[in-house]
Amino acid sequence: MYLTINGIEKSFVNEKKERVKVLDNINIEAEKGSFVSIVGPSGCGKSTLLYLIAGLDRPDAGDIRVAGQKVKKPGPERVVVFQEAGLFPWLTVLENVTYGLKLKKMSKAEAEAKALEVLKMVHLSRYVDSYPHQLSGGMKQRVAIARALVMEPDILLMDEPFSALDEQTRMVLHKELIEIWRKTKVTIFFITHNIREAVQLSEKVVVFATRPGKIKDIISVPSMKDGVMPDSVTL
């Protein structure tokens, strides 16, 4: 198995100084190139799990392995797209996307060529010289996706990336994300509190229970992937 999440435990101390288990024996497997969603109500531990996969935090127990390697720290092969696009307002769309590549010491010409390629994939070729404030919410999220893809990650981690968008924009972005997934064969871990969105997008839906942070169910979704709900899934 490509990605294995093995017996993960994570606790936090809350404001009453009590230790609260947010993730309790979480086990998930994902094949390379698969599209997995994590769905559950607010506060059930979805983001916490995503940060652990990203290597932004460490579990109290258990381990996460990608291609057999234990995740210990963040790396360009696992990138996160957050609910807020988090673009640099003083940089253009193109500069936002090439930023990470320049840190990797890639030449400007090479970085720009790569950025233009991914910006085309998210249908933003015409907006390379725009600044974030000139873009709609959906376009900002497309830039955030382009900025992630340009790093050529093996795993794209998405934390409620479309939750702040209106329904129509979200539907368009669903279609685009499926196209990107097919084209790049990137493994996607997608977090949402919306079970419909999870089922529409992914092949496997991991449903979290509210408390404590346990998995309630893992649903395999029959193939579809064109934004059409399969008949065999009832919500």
Distances (CA, A) of 16 to 12, 13, 30, 48: 11, 8, 36, 20
Pairing of strands 204-208, 215-220: antiparallel
- Residue 98 binds ligand ADP, judged by CB under 6 A: no
- Residue 96 binds Mg ion, judged by CB under 5 A: no
- Residue 206 binds ligand ADP, judged by CB under 6 A: no
- Residue 48 binds ligand ADP, judged by CB under 6 A: yes
- Residue 47 binds Mg ion, judged by CB under 5 A: yes
- Residue 22 binds ligand ADP, judged by CB under 6 A: yes
- Residue 45 binds ligand ADP, judged by CB under 6 A: yes
Find which of ligand ADP, Mg ion, none residue 12 binds, CB within 5 to 8 Å per kind.
Answer: ligand ADP
- Residue 168 binds ligand ADP, judged by CB under 6 A: no
Sheet of 3-13: strand order equals 19-30, 3-13, 61-66, 69-70
The correct pick among 1, 27, 31, 43 for binding ligand ADP (CB under 6 A) is: 43
In the complex with ligand ADP, the residue whose CB is nearer, 91 or 164, is 164
Pairing of strands 61-66, 19-30: unpaired
Q: What does the alpha-carbon distance between residue 99 and residue 158 come to, in Å, rounded to a whole number?
A: 20
Environment class of 49 (CB within 10 Å of its CB; exposed 0-12, middle 13-18, buried 19+): buried
Q: Tokens for 174, please give them.
A: 């669903």
- Residue 92 binds ligand ADP, judged by CB under 6 A: no
For the chain, where are the alpha helices, taking DSSP H only?
46-54, 93-103, 108-121, 137-149, 167-184, 195-201
Q: Shortest distance, CB of residue 2 to Mg ion, whole angstroms? A: 24
Tell me the per-residue interface mask from 1 to 20 with ligand ADP, x by CB under 6 A, - otherwise: -----------x--------
Q: What does the alpha-carbon distance between residue 40 and residue 174 come to, in Å, rounded to a whole number?
A: 19
Q: Shortest distance, CB of residue 65 to ligand ADP, whole angstroms? A: 21
> Which residues form the interface with ligand ADP (CB under 6 A)?
12, 22, 40, 42-48
> Which residues form the interface with Mg ion (CB under 5 A)?
47
